[in-house]
Structure 1
Amino acid sequence: MCQCTHQAIKEANIPADAIVGVSSCSMREGIAVYDANQNPIWACANVDARAGQQVTELKALAGGEFEEHVYHQTGQTLALGALARLLWLKQNRPDIYLNIHSISMLSDWVGYKLCGKIAVDPSNAGTTGMLNLKSRQWQPEILAQAGLNPDILSPVFETGTVLGSITEQAAKDTGLCQGTPFVMGGGDVQLGCLGWV
């Protein structure tokens, strides 16, 4: 990412201080988790399928009605989303699970690396099965019902919200100017659609 950013600035033939803001997007469903010191401690891509057994276990909750409840709140099924992956961590990697302090999507990890703040946007977090479609905020009781810690949910900010600014270290790593605003991004397809408007 750092090399790509240097290359983009060079090929655009513009000074870094001409960049008025930076954002990030990613394929949806991928997650990253952080410890209490905001250190990333585990991540997985959207194609990670290790939690198939946990999907089956979640589907059996509430007399087999848990998935329908989740769907009516979030618009998502349980098919290998964040709920199943977090349950997999709890069952298979408690050394990681017990140290999770917050969660984000992969594009939000990029934002964290650039401005030092962890938050999520609804277009990406909406794929977790934990975000209410109407309120556009987390539904912590879904985690609680799944036997997961609901206190790990990061703040939700709408796409376009200024989250912070490029840190000194990120500026050194990327060639961007320190202090350049970092703006909440979103899902790749959703932002791609906006680009065609």
Structure 2
Amino acid sequence: MSTPADPLLLALDLGTSSVKVILVTPGGQVVGRGTGDYAIRSPQPRQAEQDPGDWWAAVSQAVRAAVTPAHAPRVAAIGLSGQMHGTLLLDRQGELLAPAVIWPDQRSQAEVRAITAEIGAEALIDLTGSPLATGFQAATLAWLRHHRPDLWAKIGHILLPKDYLRWRLTGRFATDPSDAAGTLLLDVRRRAWSPALLDRLALDPDWLPPIRPAASVAGELTHAAAQVLGLRPGIPVITGAADTPCSALGAGVLTPDTLLLTLSTGGQLLLPAQTVAVDRRGRIHTFCSALEPTPQQAGWYQMAAL
């Protein structure tokens, strides 16, 4: 049981159709919950977009539902997880240039074929851990470069969905290895952006956020964000991780002798891995986990997905 003096932890998960928020004690007791829904828009066939303004409004709704005025002063940290692969473009002043292109988007089929043919399927998989597919940030960016040069000329920052939320919370840009791996711009072994891939896609490295460990503190809640959410400013905000590896972490699937089956908007079967062993036939993805690699921790995972 928690006492009125115990600290509380606020967790935000930016899903494909809604944001889910829980308020928990350090021991895992849930003391508050909230949700906020938003729509997927398809302005053209094979396109899937969302308005990040809808995300932010849903976060405000969900946080205010989860955190009572009595609990608000006890919130000691904020953590994040979120849908993978999506693409947000901001200008140099931090203003959104377009709606977010999210993972179900299929517009980049020609770009997937072109990039895979130029680099070579096996070479691409060996570097990134996965075959390139539509909806992944690398493919979406290639499409935007070809079809929206007006936006391309204005890019100052490129973010993943949960990392946009953290920027709204803290005013700081960052990502983590697990979400960065889902862009297919990451050298999966080095856990760092791949200069070769950035050069191939004509991406300025300064457009991409720094990569930090998922458990690190990325910044503090700003006064402006605190007013929107009904919280106090200065709360530490954790870098966070992608939703699938966070699910594995929460379920205790941490070692190669355990499996995780996830069924939601998509379906995944996940196996933790302590080394990078890619499937060059492209049947299985290898991504970074939410943990930093150590002899005791699996820093990667292999996944089959539908």
Normalised TM-score (structure 2): 0.60
Q: RMSD of aligned C-alpha atoms?
A: 1.5
Amino acid at match of 1:34: L
Q: 1:126 aligns with which of 181, 196, 208?
A: 181
Partner of residue 239, structure 2: 184
More strand by percentage: 2
Q: Percent identity?
A: 29
SS at match of 1:21: strand
Q: How much has 1:109 moved relative to structure 2? A: 0.6
Please say if residues 70 and 142 of structure 1, whose CA atoms lie closer than 8 Å, have aligned partners that are also in contact.
no
Partner of residue 128, structure 2: 74
- 1:157-185 Cα deviation digits (max 9, x unpaired): 11011111101110011112110011011
Please say if residues 141 and 150 of structure 1, whose CA atoms lie closer than 8 Å, have aligned partners that are also in contact.
no
The answer to whether structure 1 residue 87 and structure 2 residue 142 are counterparts is yes
Partner of residue 53, structure 1: 110
The answer to whether structure 1 residue 161 and structure 2 residue 219 are counterparts is no
More helix by percentage: 1
Aligned mates of 1:177, 1:134 — CA distance in 2: 39
The answer to whether structure 1 residue 108 and structure 2 residue 166 are counterparts is no
The answer to whether structure 1 residue 5 and structure 2 residue 63 are counterparts is yes
Please say if residues 120 and 154 of structure 1, whose CA atoms lie closer than 8 Å, have aligned partners that are also in contact.
yes
Please say if residues 16 and 177 of structure 1, whose CA atoms lie closer than 8 Å, have aligned partners that are also in contact.
yes
Please say if residues 116 and 124 of structure 2, whose CA atoms lie closer than 8 Å, have aligned partners that are also in contact.
no
- 1:89-148 Cα deviation digits (max 9, x unpaired): 111111111211221210011100100111111111101111111211111221212344
Q: How much has 1:15 moved relative to structure 2? A: 2.1
SS at match of 2:111: helix
Please say if residues 144 and 152 of structure 2, whose CA atoms lie closer than 8 Å, have aligned partners that are also in contact.
yes
Structure 1: state its 5+ residue gaps: none
Aligned mates of 2:127, 2:70 — CA distance in 1: 46
SS at match of 1:164: strand
The answer to whether structure 1 residue 16 and structure 2 residue 58 are counterparts is no
Q: Which has the larger radius of gyration?
A: 2
Amino acid at match of 1:178: P
Q: How much has 1:34 moved relative to structure 2? A: 1.6
Please say if residues 78 and 235 of structure 2, whose CA atoms lie closer than 8 Å, have aligned partners that are also in contact.
yes
Normalised TM-score (structure 1): 0.91
Please say if residues 128 and 187 of structure 2, whose CA atoms lie closer than 8 Å, have aligned partners that are also in contact.
yes
Aligned mates of 2:210, 2:243 — CA distance in 1: 20
Aligned mates of 2:92, 2:113 — CA distance in 1: 30
